[in-house]
């Protein structure tokens, strides 16, 4: 998981089964499965109100050349971006 702040600082953490991570309020974060097994994780919020901004979707909807030029992104990354946001699912009963 990578956690990033508005001032350009970021830290990346490697977690294993049973570990707990924390993302400070108003920080962005990115979770990537770097293993070879299915990843299941539980994300808990202090508030009953959830808001999501998908960086993946935002980059996919931005003109391709603009993203490539500013991020020096290759075709592998550009082709992996999704224009549709993947939903965050609320666990029933919570």
What's this model's pTM, rounded to 2 decimal places?
A: 0.59
Residue 21: predicted pLDDT:
92
Run of H or E including 2: strand 2-4
Residue 62: predicted pLDDT:
94
Is 63 a residue whose pLDDT tops 70?
A: yes
In terms of phi and psi (left: phi > 0; alpha: psi -120 to 50; beta: otherwise), the region of 43 is beta
List, by residue number, the catalytic residues: 43
Is 93 a residue whose pLDDT tops 60?
A: no
């Amino acid at each position: 998981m990578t956690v990033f702040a508005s001032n350009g600082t970021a830290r990346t953490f490697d977690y294993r089964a049973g570990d707990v991570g924390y993302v400070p309020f108003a920080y962005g974060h990115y979770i990537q499965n770097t293993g070879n097994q299915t990843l299941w994780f539980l994300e808990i919020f202090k508030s009953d109100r959830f808001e999501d901004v998908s960086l993946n979707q935002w980059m996919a909807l931005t003109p391709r050349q603009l993203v490539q030029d500013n991020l020096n992104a290759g075709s592998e990354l550009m082709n992996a971006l999704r224009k549709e946001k993947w939903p965050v699912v609320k666990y029933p009963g919570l």
